[in-house]
Chains A and B, each alone.
Chain A
Amino acid sequence: MSDFRMPSLGADMEKGTVVEWLKKPGDRIARGDVVAVVETQKGAFEVEVFENGVLSEIVVPVGTEVPVGAVLARIDSGEPKPAAAPAPPPAEVPAPSAPLPALPPLPPPRPAGERLRLSPAASRRAAELGIDPHGLAGSGPGGAITLADIEAVAARAARPGAEKGRRGFDPAAMRQAIASAMARSKREIPHYYLGLPIDMSRALQWLAVENARRDVENRLLAGVLLLKATALALREVPELNGFWLDGAPRLSAGIHVGWAISLRGGGLMAPAIHDADGKTVDELMAALRDLVIRARTARLRGSEMTDPTVTVTSLGERGAERVYGVIYPPQLAIVGFGAVRPAPAVVDGVVAARPTVYATLSGDHRASDGVSGSRLLAAIDSRLQVPERL
């Protein structure tokens, strides 16, 4: 059984009308026989068949217009027709509409730099190695992070000797780590900045008296007073001590102060002085000395790098007047101290020269507000005014 279909009688013919059937069901037909007359826009045409058999059924009666390809009749050619599975109905394709639909407004362009520039190969490798590429400095085109950048991070991580090794540290790796952390900080943390000049007269007087009766090796540095005052002040303003994790502040019960130490080969680290608020100034002094030596000989423990709940950076005697620190993520704040210098101060209504340290606070505005930061700086100030109780 086969189908006899409306033929295409020209490239522009889309449909036709059967105007006459020249054979009737049951008639024997042979290849070349004219079986019907079809009317098109170009006139009437006789239509022939291309096989032999018996006309078994007329499907389209005279006078009916059908598209090209429509079944007009069925021919029994004597050969069994293979049973074909019914074809699935074609999907509805909407006809193209003449006027274009109105477009919804386009979203605004993304701000430049929002998207991480990371090569596809680097992206895949970072995922394999579990490395967060955010904050890495890229060496590729336009500062893109490349495969080599990711593998350099992996190589450093896979080289534990570099951390506790005795041959110092890799300045390039250190730079990379600082770049990564600081870029992440500035990208993610909305900093607010506060500053307060603090009169250091009493603290330095106390220190002079105290050091006068100590051996040289047991003498205290002014920095240790700043450290202790900050640790104690954080007891009063705990909302600045801890971490920003998973979109919320997570405050820390222990006050582990990361003390910023600059390294001779370049670079910086801020290892933890654990429970700094509970240590005496002598204990803190010993801890500081120990940390500085170990930091400069690359013998710090890993936990000392991750434990700090806050950072203190003190520029020391030869430093600048003020330092506006960049928070070390995921910490919530960094307290900075400039060099102690004589500065005009108003004391009892009179301008007088006083040794002064400019204290600053950079706070994570997601976790705290300026009022908390102000309270912290004020608390540091008042602690430094009673140095004997530090």
Chain B
Amino acid sequence: MSGRRKTTYREAVREAIREAMKRDPRVFLMGEDVARYGGCYAVSKGLAQEFGEERIRDTPLSESGFVGAGIGAALGGMRPIVEVMSVNFSLLALDQIVNNAATIPHMSGGQFAVPLVIRMATGSGRQLAAQHSHSLEGWYAHIPGLKVVAPATLEDARGMLWSALEDPNPVLIFEHVQLYNMEGELDDDAGAVPISGAAIRRPGRDLSIVTYGGSLSKCLAAATALAAEGIEAEVVDLRSLRPLDDATIMASVARTRRALIVDEGWRSGGISAEISARIVEQAFYELDAPPARLCGVEVPIPYPKHLEDASVPQAESILAAARELVRPGPA
């Protein structure tokens, strides 16, 4: 019988990296400031001392260069974990990710696998302004050949990395910046979890709140408040943005007949638009109301705290959107 221990999301990610390093000598971590500085979000603090700078490697400030090196290492049989400081910076490596990592397994007729894992921080909430705070994971979810996951819980932060390394495809792991300090309990023997499939984080009968990543805890808080009003929200954690788990989403919507999609990314052309379209395509006759979306306001994320908070969904706005969907006010 194993116990549980207190930990944080940051420590869970670090523990996942440490486990992977120990289990497989082909695994190594590289990125900007991951070794001597311990990672800009302190995820890899101490790992360079433990595993040495051969396996915990600082890179030059060249996303295209070190992501490309990661692809090459993966093609050469290694299991690289590449850390990109923020999804905004990953745009410098877009060519490597989209034109190379995503396409090589296909263009080689399956002769080459790219078992590469790229970890990126995403999202707002740390007052890092518009060049460090966006939620662009929905873009990557557009690309065939990639897998895109967003661990929102300690279990997933701890368990998704190993499964991602085992996958022959390039896997992008999006860690929301506001989650790193999240505290909670984790089983002592917590380990790998599947990277596919959505999870119901809270059952409910009146509406389905479909979300992922940094918005999950806000949605759960809103669901608790809704319950006090007699509205039982089911909260679906997508976990994976590509592929999307249509079956779980549709089964939930078929139960609740209403869907609210909560996404910190922008609304226009975003992942929430894709989910909404799929619900309409696949569950139209189950619906009792049009699918609703609560997304980031379509501005570059502002620096001032109050404006930053106002620019993405918060528990209060989720609560209001859910209430409006279930008990609409006067038209």
Interface residues of A (CB under 8 A from B): 119-124, 139-144, 146-148
Q: How far is the CB of A34 from chain B (nearest CB, A)?
A: 29
Binds A, one of B136-144, B194-202, B286-294: B286-294
A119 pairs with B331, CB closer than 8 A: no
| Residues of B participating in the A interface, judged by any CB pair closer than 8 Å | 257, 284-290, 324-325, 328, 331
Contact between B285 and A121 (Cβ–Cβ < 8 Å)? yes
- Complex Cα–Cα for A140 and B331 (A): 9
Residues of A within 8 A of B289 (CB): 119, 140-141, 144, 146
Instruction: Show 10 A/B contacts (Cβ-Cβ < 8 Å), sorted by A.
Output: A119-B257, A119-B289, A120-B285, A120-B286, A120-B287, A120-B288, A121-B285, A141-B331, A144-B289, A148-B288
Shortest beta-carbon distance from B231 to chain A in Å: 13
Contact A143 B331 (CB under 8 A): yes
Picked from B257, B324, B328, B331, the residue with its CB within 8 Å of the CB of A121 is B257
Q: Is the interface of A mostly helix, strand, loop or mixed?
A: helix
> Nearest residue in A to B287 (C-beta to C-beta)?
A120
Q: Closest 4 A-B residue pairs measured CB to CB? A: A119-B288, A141-B328, A121-B288, A147-B288
Q: Please tell me if the beta carbons of B290 and A141 are within 8 angstroms of each other in the complex.
A: yes
Counting chain B CB atoms within 10 Å of each CB, the highest count among A120, A139, A147 belongs to A120
Q: Which residues of B contact A140 (CB under 8 A)?
A: 288-289, 328
B284 neighbours in A (Cβ, 8 Å): 120
Contact between B290 and A147 (Cβ–Cβ < 8 Å)? no
- Shortest beta-carbon distance, B39 to chain A, in Å? 46
Collect the chain B residues with CB atoms within 8 Å of residue A143's CB.
Answer: 331
Give CA–CA (A124, B257) in the complex, Å. 13
Contact A141 B325 (CB under 8 A): yes
Asked whether B288 lies within 8 Å of A142 as measured between CB atoms, the reply is no
- 13 more CB-based (< 8 A) A-B contacts, given A120-B285, A120-B286: A119-B257, A119-B288, A119-B289, A120-B284, A123-B285, A139-B328, A140-B328, A141-B289, A141-B290, A141-B324, A141-B325, A141-B331, A142-B331
In Å, the complex CA distance between A148 and B257 comes to 11
Q: Are B286 and A121 in contact (CB under 8 A)?
A: yes
B292: nearest chain-A partner, CB-CB: A141
* CB-based nearest B residue for A145: B288
Set of chain A residues within 8 Å of B331, measured between Cβ atoms: 141-143
**Residues on B with beta carbons closer than 8 Å to the beta carbon of A142:** 328, 331
Given contacts A140-B328, A141-B328, A147-B257, contact A122 B288 (CB under 8 A): yes
**Distance of A122 Cα from B289 Cα, bound (Å):** 10
Which of A124, A139, A141, A144 contacts B285 (CB under 8 A)? Answer: A124
User: Across the interface, which residues of B come within 8 angstroms of A146, CB to CB?
Assistant: 288-289
With a cutoff of 8 Å between Cβ atoms, the chain A residues found around residue B324 in the complex are 141
- Select the residue from B286, B289, B331 with max chain A CB neighbours within 10 A: B289
How many Å from the CB of B124 to the closest CB on chain A? 29
Complex CA–CA separation, A33 to B286 (angstroms)? 64
A119-B325 in contact (CB<8A)? no
A346 to chain B, nearest CB (A): 49
Residue of B nearest to A144 (CB): B289
B258 CB to nearest A CB, Å: 9
In the bound assembly, the distance between CA atoms of A147 and B288 in angstroms comes to 6
CB of B305, distance to nearest CB on chain A (Å): 33
- Residues of chain B within 8 A (CB-CB) of A123 are 285
Q: How far is the CB of B272 from chain A (nearest CB, A)?
A: 18
Tell me, in angstroms, the Cα distance from A178 to B296 when the chains sit together: 44
Give Cα A229–Cα B277 distance, bound, in whole angstroms.
63
Taking a contact as CB atoms under 8 Å apart, the answer to whether B287 and A119 are in contact is yes
Please indicate the chain B residues that have their CB under 8 angstroms from the CB of A148 in the complex: 288
Give B324's nearest chain A residue, CB to CB.
A141
Min CB gap B234→A, angstroms: 16
Chain A nearest Cβ from B80, distance in angstroms:
35
From B330, which residue of chain A is reached at the shortest CB distance? A143
Task: Give the shortest distance, in Å, between A122 (CB) and chain B (any CB).
Answer: 6
Which residue from chain B places its CB closest to the CB of A122 in the assembled complex?
B288
State how many angstroms separate the Cβ of A127 from the closest Cβ of chain B: 10
Q: Which residue of B lies closest to A123 (CB)?
A: B285
Tell me, in angstroms, the Cα distance from A119 to B288 when the chains sit together. Answer: 5
Give the distance in Å from the alpha carbon of A139 to the alpha carbon of B284 in the complex.
Answer: 19
User: In the complex where A140-B328, A141-B328, A142-B331 touch, is A121 in contact with B290 (Cβ < 8 A)?
Assistant: no
What's the nearest-Cβ distance from chain A to residue B288, in Å? 4
Which A residue's beta carbon lies closest to that of B280? A120
User: A139 vs B258: C-alpha distance in the bound complex, in angstroms?
Assistant: 14
- Write the nearest CB–CB distance from B123 to chain A, whole angstroms: 30
Residues in B with CB closer than 8 Å to A122 are 288
